[in-house]
């Protein structure tokens, strides 16, 4: 992909929203939630209604072997 094409895609995403169906749906729902809270006097930003995808995986503690085994036991089909 050329630099110019990458710029065009970035511009498209900036004006039309994400390309992923899931993220587009999340963005639309966030806009609706933002409008509802704004109509009722809320002062939140639209980003407050979007999932935080920038959160680093390193922030989450690693599961212990016992916790992992407990998760597998809960998911077991009987």
* Residues 77 and 69: beta-carbon distance below 8 Å: no
Per-residue model confidence as pLDDT tens digits over 24-72? 899 889 999 999 999 999 999 988 998 877 666 566 778 888 988 888 8
Q: What is the pLDDT of residue 40?
A: 95
Whether this prediction's pTM lies above 0.85 is answered by no
Number of structural domains found in the chain: 1
Residue 37 belongs to what domain range? 3-75
Count CB-CB contacts under 10 A for residue 52.
6
Per-residue model confidence as pLDDT tens digits over 15-26? 877 788 888 899
Taking residues 10-17, report their average pLDDT.
Answer: 84
Q: What is the pLDDT of residue 78?
A: 64
Report the C-alpha gap between 60 and 56 in whole angstroms: 8
């Amino acid at each position: 992909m050329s630099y110019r094409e990458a710029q065009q895609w970035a511009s498209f995403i900036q004006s039309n929203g994400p390309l992923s169906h899931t993220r587009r749906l999340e963005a639309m729902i966030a806009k609706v939630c933002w409008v509802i809270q704004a109509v009722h006097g809320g002062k939140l930003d639209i980003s407050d209604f979007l999932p935080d995808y920038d959160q680093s995986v390193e922030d989450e503690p690693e599961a212990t072997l016992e916790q992992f085994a407990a998760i597998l036991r809960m998911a077991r089909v009987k």
